[in-house]
Structure 1
Amino acid sequence: MTPWRLRDRSFDWGKQTYLMGVLNVTPDSFSDGGQFNTLEAACRQSRQLVDGGADILDIGGQSTRPNAEEISLTEELDRVIPIIQALRQNTEFSQVPISVDTTRAKVAEAAIAVGADLINDISGGTFDAEMLPTVAKLQVPIALMHLRGTPKTMQTLTDYDDLIGEIYQFLSERIESAIAVGIDRQQIILDPGIGFAKKYSQNLEILRRLPDFQTLKCPILVGVSRKSFIGHILNQPDPQKRTWGTAAACVSAIVGGAHLLRVHDLPEMREVCQVADAIWRSKVPYP
């Protein structure tokens, strides 16, 4: 896989695990809704994520928790764009790669215009027919995730005849759709969508069989951070108290070949990655 270059950072897939720090500027996200939905709080949290070791900041204005209501395009733009602008105007963040977590092409285009570097689309480019052509025009990377239905309906759509096979087929088709409109395959990263239209046992199966997705020949993004399947195992209803369960799931993802982990808890997950990489990666750029 071809390394990515975002700002002044190189992402040499497979040599180490990279971290995408979650910044939800929403009032209703499952784990941290309402904590960072002001400009001051979002900038402060961005500093903490970067200081903790985040390689990418992933900024989202639309909650994607189960049963989340869809907000308007205007509201999503009003939540996301000022944060990206504020970060890019601050010299401390001038070289920090920024991802925008959106399913809307207009949000993606506006975010790139003010300084974002890549798109993270939970729908795999299926919610908005203009998303893939827009990304092709912008010539930026995109993360394509597996999802059934919408956040409002997804947890009613968890029956699969062949869980891994169906996710694999969906992602394969999304790669082909992206390439067909002019997106370079080397600019695509794939996410199997843990927690999205998946039941507890299905999330575990995805982690066990993560190596199956390696044959798609794209970097793999995994988001397990604080999710409900971890709470189920730990009998822990509070997402913010699932840090060490998240750590175990992250190690499992690394062993399975994940290249990028989307997480809330920095620097704890950075230390987890350093140790797991030293054991499981052939070349690790750590002392």
Structure 2
Amino acid sequence: MGLEKLHPFDAGKWGKVINFLKEEKLIADDFIVQAREATDEDLLVVHTRRYLNKLKAGKLAVDRGWAINVGGGFHHCSSDKGGGFCAYADITLAIKFLFERVQGVSKATIIDLDAHQGNGHERDFMDDHRVYIMDVYNRYIYPGDGFAKRAIKRKVELEWGTEDTEYLQKVHTHVEGALNELKPDIIVYNAGTDILDGDPLGGLAISPQGIVKRDEVVFKAARRRRIPILMVTSGGYQKRTARIIADSILNLHNLGLIDKELATSGAENPKVEQMIRDSAKDLTNLSLQ
């Protein structure tokens, strides 16, 4: 209805990412795994009936196991409350589905590198020692949720205008530290691009090349430890972020970090490994909405 023109969020971002990847011949239509509509039964794993009754319907862009989902990362939504453009708690849902439905998956690490604090999943996992949360964010912007910060095991609060060198050094140090402290059965990586220089909401100053390198750092850390990883793209409020996300995915592919070999050998747990195989097709094992 044209309302997207009045809003900072680029509602066409996800489709643009897919189109860029098609243009680069990385994927074709028959390589794309379509996300299924979440049922009320699925959503009730996390959300209350009262909260769901306030909403009509929507897609839950979560794929379990090794995947890149270009439409997920709603990290301000918790089990009973939405916020910050986030209607469904997809990160919480993904992890709880794995805990409840996949034998042998009992520990998860959330690496949240969106410019904003991920207060939704932090509130949901406040007292859950199975979930380790690392969060790197601009300390001065939304949501400033002091209560939720208590759930963060590794907290990195950034200053206004933080640039590539400092940012990448901190990401590398703390990703390595987090995964050395606890080796999880699954990593959920919230890869927001609102850290980009000029983003109207993020307040940081990371270059496009810095974002590509950041994603590379996280995937390399996961691969070295043979840990399955689910990446969601979260915030990013400039038109150029779609191209940057596509470039990052292409870089991961070119480096062999999202090829089929990684996907099928990346899990030590056989059931997780089979789940990963089942979530994708043919060459890249790339799961996209």
TM-score exceeds 0.5: no
User: Which category of TM-score, normalised to the shorter sequence, fits these structures?
Assistant: 0.3 to 0.5
Query: Which has the larger helix fraction?
Result: 1
TM-score, structure 1 length as denominator? 0.39
- Of structures 1 and 2, the one with the larger relative CO (CA 8 A, separation 6+) is 2
